[in-house]
Structure 1
Amino acid sequence: MADQSVPWPLQLLTLLLSLIPWRHPAGASDDGRILLQFKATLSPGVGGDAVLATWVDTRGPCIDQNVSAWAGVYCENGKVATLQLENMSLSGALDLDILTGLPSLRALSFSNNSLEGAIPDFTKLPALKSLYLSWNRFSGEIPDGMFSTMRALKKVWLSHNSFSGPIPTSLTVPEKLMDLGLDSNSFEGHIPDLWQTELQLVNVSYNNLEGPIPVRLSNMSATLFEGNKNLCGPPLLVSCNPPKKRKLAPALLVAIILIAVAVLLAVIAFIVFLVLRRRNKKEETTVDRPQTSTNSEKIEHLEAAAGAELGAQKHRGGEKKAPKKEQGKLSFVVEWGRKFDMQDLLRASAEVLGSGNFGSSYKATLVDGPAVVVKRFKEMKGVGREDFQEHMRRLGRLSHPNLLPLVAYYYKKEEKLLITEYIPNGSLAHMLHGNRGSKLPPLDWPTRLKIVKGVARGLAYLYDELPMLTVPHGHLKSSNVLLSSSFEPILTDYALVPVMKKAAASQVMVAYKSPECAQHGEPSKKSDVWSFGTLILEILTGKFPADHLAEGSAGADLASWVNTVAGEEGTSKVFDKNMEGTKNSEEEMLKLLKMGIACCEADVDERWEMKEALEKIEELKEREDGTERSLISSEGEGFSSKAMVER
């Protein structure tokens, strides 16, 4: 019943106001507001304060579909998917109630901090796929039903804490569990009967566990179970059913001893007989007989050993299983200084680099080797083994300073991995958009021109070496352009359309969709050129290709935005304000801008070829030399690719 003390006109006004769909002010998104609330509950150390300083409410964390400007935050389809807050000296208890407002959250990592208390209540985040809590100070028992509702879990790492009590039996519930790290705790009792078919690594070393190791884990390395005095069964060399000792009757014991002595004497007598006989035969032979018995005996021993091993393999069915074992091996396509295998990758410390529709990337630091990047693909399950291997070998033969070489691959019907070098400087997307607020200076004009030329050379090489491909790159965008220590661009995720599903190739592979690709769903060489042109404009303007849409500007792509703004306000309003080193370079910058637009021509027939783009770009200089003049000024002809500077 309405409050009679409030006048009815005021009641009516209140009701009408409540029906108006108020919009939040500009600033952080819903995900951003939730993360800022979560940030307020944390107690980071000095390093963590510096990292979390990038969490500001002026803009949401996801500045692109799969790129974030907030440190430790990774996005997927514009939503927060991964939270990686490691090495920040976080202390105190961990309260995750606020994170229930992030429905797209799939991975959490708080490794290498000083968090303490009981394990946080992760049952409120049932969609989690990866959970990393290693190297903290968590303690106490884990509730037995903790993981009963977390059916999506694939990776759980609780290593190097002080957990005690039994291992939760609810860890048998997640059907797709792959990695489980419980080592260096104080767990006791039996290992649950883990059964999951996708299990690759279970580390329970250095606890207080006892009893038999589950059969599903018997083919793993014995080092994963060491440090538990009372564990038994394969892969440990400890039997779970030791033979029982029975006391023998005195008379039976005496009889056994007498029989053993008699057998021993008989053996000794036989040996003496053989020695004497051989000595007599040796005296009868001539002294000049060649002495070749040593080498022949060695050969016979080796042949016998090989025959015995072959027989043992046949007995175990080894020949039948050999093809199956091949499926679990890494196949190297280039010479690599440090060879490694899947077990090395599984033992390596892992760090999530990114996750999206295309696949997930992990940085794996080998125990006694370098760091590599492992990329798992989602849309390759229909590719046949022979076709996949042939294409990977083809990619392995590519060699260019602006291409990230493929090191190795892993093929199984349900799992495909590509392994490359790790480039520590990160991506062009990070330098352009995620670097603000850090101590690193923004990219200047000479560096940006160097990056454009390097990308063009890498693309031209792909076009020359892979003429049979309809899309030589197919996934060109700023986050797939890595930067070396000297800011040399390195292309990655290239030439993968042939091993992708057709639907994925048209929807996922093309980062910046050209009009014909968006309309017909079939990428081509010209759609690669469109992506390159958009990348040029992104480098010059400092804007994400979708930024102008979010701001309500005209046009359906970055080229349209550039044309509109340049026509209304002049080209000076187009270039990135943070770009330094532009003095005496305005004409060269304008030429490159027009080249980018020529690559983004909506008419496919009018759009440049990649070879033509490379030739024009190679002519550009960091500075004007006074002898060349642009044939088009920003105040003259319309800002159109058809009015491009001719050679």
Structure 2
Amino acid sequence: MALTFKHKPLFLLVFLFHHIIFFIPCSSLPTDSAALKNILLKFKSSLSNTTALSNWDGKSPPCNKENITTLNWKGIFCSNGYIRGIHLPNMGLTGTVDLSLLVDLKEDLRNLNFADNSFQGPLPDLNIFGALKSAFLSNNQFSGTIPDDAFKGMGSLKKLHLSNNTFTGPIPKSLTNLANLIELKLQDNKFEGQIPYFQDPKLQVFNVSNNNLVGTIPPSLGKMDPSFFTGNKGLTQSSQATPTPADSGSNTRSPESESNTKNPESESKGTSRLTIVLAAVGSLLGLAIIVAVPFILCRKQQRKASLSIETPLPSNLQKKTGIKETDRSLKSLSEGSVGPGGSTRGKKAAESTKLSFVRDDRELFDLQDLLKASAEILGSGCFGSSYKAALPSGHMMVVKRFKQMNNVGREEFQEHMKRIGRLRHPNLLPLVSYYYRKEEKLLISDFVDRGSLAVHLHGYQAIQLPSLQWATRLKVIKGVAKGLGYLYKELPSLIAPHGHMKSSNVLLNEAYEPFLTDYGLTPVINQESAQDLMVAYKSPEFLQQGRITKKTDIWGLGILILEILTGKFPANFLQQGKQKTDVDLANWVNSVVESGDNISQVFDKDMGGTNNSQGEMMKLLNIALACCEAEVEKRLDMKEAVEKIEELKERDGEDDFYSSCASEADIKSSRGKSDDFAFT
């Protein structure tokens, strides 16, 4: 539809926007360090028992503008000088939370985590922060009724955890208008009344168990896990196909009532208005894009654009460097940085591409050796690509490229890499050297011949390899457990010394000895990326309470053992439902055990060599399930898990085998249950 003179006000709006926006100064730079200090110190003074916040002393700035992400003050996560997250879980804090003291951060703050403390009083005013993406307030002593409009205007909110407090009254209706909400945890409170109607929710988790809710569960939530609604005596499953306004408890109209109110004239007018609005929005977006360029330039925090690995590399450069066309991203680290021979720029470039070695038992080489080497891409993982490169001596190295590793500053990063470099264990893949650049990091280690355990479990047929047999799988599990136990001993200050336990992070050599890789990286990985990508943050305790614990890696070990025993890929369980997690692999195995079905069906049929090993396999299955306990307190600790795994043998002993033949072995849960499960 063409815009006519009737729409002059609209054109005037666009004209004014066009002229005003170009006169906005570059003042949206990071808040002044002194101002940030004052804001945070004032907030700290409003809390009680703040011993854990001892480094909130004002001696250093909360954020460093020169670093992409810093952690100068405990629990304060920054990006480009802005405070993006305040994470204070399990710090023994008390008192009330007055978020109005942080109002100056409302445009920047994305994440709040005050879980597992002893805060009291009403729900803090979260809607001050319209751009907030997650808020974790579980396991405190918050109380009172939450106003209906408490979450109005929080359209960016994805995760809200309020479980295990003493909130009363109805569930706020403003929650139903949060289009991006995927996790809502309200369990273990005293909420009353009916569940409001969520229309076409994106919700993957909606847990309201153990409250005082009544009425029926809205059909839009009918596919949720039934356990999310238990503990509400007055709540029943709805059989209604489409809710009515009365059921919804909100102003959202049902599809039937909406269709009954439509008429051609109003629909035509609505279309006309929509066209005008779309035209205006299109104009504004176009102008915003034009404005973005000078705005970004004036911020001085601009990051260099990395070259795509899919962009073809000119053949002459390929011949000179030895890097294949698919490896242009590796070459981009030094491309354009080397000046004419002998120039100052060339010297600076040589210094800037220097590798930092953390071991003294490896041959020395530099980045240029890797860039000139014959290289190939091994694959792309959660955080970046991996490359295999041959040194002039013929020794093969693996270069892993990380772009989301800016959680700490340069000095702290270097100290942490040295700490990892000092680790020595036959089941850890040693870090050899690293390359530091603000935009990205390279971690360099030895190449391991047979590749990842994941390939041997799930892709062996495609590459025409035999399936791993029971004896080999047990050998791998024992090596993994030993390596993990060593990490717990040598890195006691890390909550999750590995943090990313999965089969693709276990490499096998020619003798099928396992090597753990990507360990100890949780402190340096950007926290938002870690929560989205790292295995530790998929654990039950993080999904339920927004925290990881000293037993989180145990859960990862248990899932890995189940993957090895069953041959089933945990990610396949993710696809069965939006609310599913890796822990469902354990739930599936446990359900087979509890149902009394033929438990042998859980074992990979291609494992072979199990005739004289059933008893030991059953023991290992029991250990895995004990490692996968959803309740952290009931889960095995690392020392106990390693000891139990070490006791396992390839074959059953004579007495064990006789017992196995007589009763097909009894499996006793070491997770506090008294039931005996017989194998049929």
Using the size of structure 1 for normalisation, the TM-score is: 0.51
How has the CA–CA distance of structure 1 residues 437 and 369 changed in structure 2, closer, same or farther, with 3 Å as cutoff? closer
Match of 1:606 in 2: 634
Matched, 1:540 2:565: yes
Distance 1:632 1:534 in 2: 30
Give, in whole Å, the separation in 2 of the partners of 1:583 and 1:356: 38
Alignment of 1:560-639 (within 5 A): 560-568=587-595, 569-628=597-656, 629=659
Alpha-carbon shift at residue 638 of structure 1 (Å): 7.7
Specify which of 350, 370, 375 is matched with residue 375 of structure 2: 350
* Comparing 324-333 and 618-627, the one that deviates more: 324-333
- The 1-side partners of 2:476 and 2:669 are apart by 24
Residues 460-479 of structure 1: matches in 2 within 5 Å? 460-479=485-504
User: What is the CA deviation profile of residues 198-231 of structure 1, one whole-angstrom value per residue up to 9, with x for unaligned ones?
Assistant: 95556xxxxxxxxxxxxx5762xxxxxxxxxxxx
Task: After TM superposition, give the deviation of residue 361 of structure 1 in Å.
Answer: 1.2
Match of 1:522 in 2: 547
Q: 1:409 to 1:644 in 2, by over 3 A?
A: farther
Quote the residue 2:318 is aligned against. Answer: 181
Q: CA deviation at 1:413?
A: 1.5
Q: 1:333 aligns with which of 358, 371, 392?
A: 358
**Kindly tell me: are residues 552 and 637 of structure 1, through their superposed partners in 2, closer, same or farther at Cα, counting changes over 3 Å?**
farther
* RMSD, aligned CA: 3.6
Distance (whole Å) between structure 1 residues aligned to residue 494 and residue 448 of structure 2? 27
- 1:380 Cα deviation from its structure 2 partner: 1.2
Q: Deviations over 1:48-88 (max 9, x none)?
A: xxxxxxxxxxxxxxxxxxxxxxxxxxxxxxxxxxxxxxxxx
For the residue of structure 1 that corresponds to 2:618, the secondary structure is: helix
TM-score, normalised to structure 2's length? Answer: 0.48
Equivalent positions of 1:323-402 (< 5 A) are 326-402=351-427
- Tell me how far 1:623 sits from its aligned partner: 0.7
Select which of 144, 153, 161 maps to 2:308. Answer: 153
Instruction: Give the secondary-structure state (helix, strand or coil) at the position aligned to 2:650.
Output: coil
Residues 338, 349 of structure 2: 8 Å contact kept: no
Distance 1:322 1:554 in 2: 54
Secondary structure of 1:418's aligned partner: strand
1:558 equivalent in alignment to 2:588: no
Separation of aligned partners in 1, 2:673 and 2:390 = 51
Does the Cα contact within 8 Å between 1:344 and 1:367 map onto a contact in 2? yes
- Structure number with bigger Rg: 1
1:410 counterpart letter in structure 2? Y
Specify the code of the residue in structure 2 equivalent to 1:542.
G
Contact 1:548/1:561 (8 A) holds in 2: no
Mapping 1:60-75, distance limit 5 Å: none
Deviation string for 1:480-527 (max 9, x for gaps)?
000111111100000011112222333322267221112334333211
| Structure 2 unaligned regions, length at least 5 | 1-304, 323-328
Q: Which amino acid aligns with 1:351?
A: E
Check conservation: 2:398, 2:446, Cα contact below 8 A.
yes
> How many Å separate the matches in 2 of 1:487 and 1:461?
20
How many angstroms apart in 2 are the aligned matches of 1:531 and 1:625? 29
Q: Distance in 2 between matches of 1:182 and 1:488?
A: 37
Quote the offset at 1:414 in angstroms: 1.6
Q: Does residue 483 of structure 2 align to residue 458 of structure 1?
A: yes
1:598 and 1:644 in contact (8 A); partners too: no
Q: By how many angstroms is 1:355 displaced? A: 1.5
Asked if 1:642 corresponds to 2:672, the answer is yes
> Residues 428, 540 of structure 1: CA spacing in aligned structure 2 closer, same or farther, 3 A cutoff?
same
Aligned residue pair count: 360
Query: Among 411, 417, 423, which residue is 2:448 paired with?
Result: 423
SS in 1 for 2:551: helix
Q: What SS does the aligned partner of 2:633 have?
A: coil
1:447 shift after superposition: 0.8
Deviations 1:92-146 (A, max 9, x none): xxxxxxxxxxxxxxxxxxxxxxxxxxxxxxxxxxxxxxxxxxxxxxxxxxxxxxx
State whether structure 2 residue 520 is matched by structure 1 residue 492: no
State the distance in 1 between where 2:386 and 2:662 align.
44
Q: Deviations over 1:530-587 (max 9, x none)?
A: 0000000000000011334546899851110001233442211110000111111111
Shift of the alpha carbon at 1:348? 1.4
Structure 1 letter corresponding to 2:627: C
- Native 8 Å contact 2:321 2:372 kept in 1: no
Offset, 1:385: 1.2
Which is further off, 330-339 or 468-477? 330-339
Instruction: In structure 2, give the amino acid aligned to 1:573.
Output: Q
Counterpart secondary structure, 2:632: coil
- Per the alignment, in what secondary structure is the counterpart of residue 459 of structure 1? helix
Q: Is the 8 A contact 1:566 1:639 kept in 2?
A: no
Does 1:436 find its partner at 2:461?
yes
SS at match of 1:565: helix
Alignment of 1:209-224 (within 5 A): 219=339
Letter in 1 for 2:558: G
Q: For residues 369 and 338 of structure 1, what CA distance do their matches in structure 2 show? A: 11
Deviations along 1:156-212, whole A, 9 cap, x unmatched? 555659xxxxxxxxxxxxxxxxxx537599xxxxxxxxxx9x95556xxxxxxxxxx
Distance in 2 (alpha carbons) for counterparts of 1:182 and 1:155: 18
8 A contact 1:402–1:454 mirrored in 2: yes
SS at match of 2:535: coil
2-side partners of 1:634 and 1:641: how far apart? 21
Task: State the distance in 1 between where 2:461 and 2:453 align.
Answer: 13
**Amino acid corresponding to residue 363 of structure 1 in structure 2:** K
Q: 1:351 to 1:438 in 2, by over 3 A?
A: closer
User: What does 1:184-203 correspond to in 2, within 5 Å?
Assistant: 199-200=332-333
5 Å matches for 1:227-238?
A: 234-235=340-341
Q: CA deviation at 1:346?
A: 1.0
Query: Match of 2:545, as an amino acid?
Result: H
Whole-angstrom CA distance in 2 between matches of 1:470 and 1:507: 18
Q: CA deviation at 1:636?
A: 6.0
Q: What code does the residue aligned with 1:384 have?
A: G
Give, in whole Å, the separation in 2 of the partners of 1:479 and 1:600. 19
Code of the aligned partner of 1:440: L
* Distance across 1 between alignment mates of 2:449 and 2:458: 17
Measured in 1, the distance between the counterparts of 2:371 and 2:321 equals 17
Does 383-392 or 533-542 show the bigger shift? 383-392
Partner AA of 1:415 in structure 2: E
Q: Take 1:468 and 1:455, find their aligned partners in 2: how far apart are those partners? A: 21
* Structure 1 residue identity aligned to 2:318: G
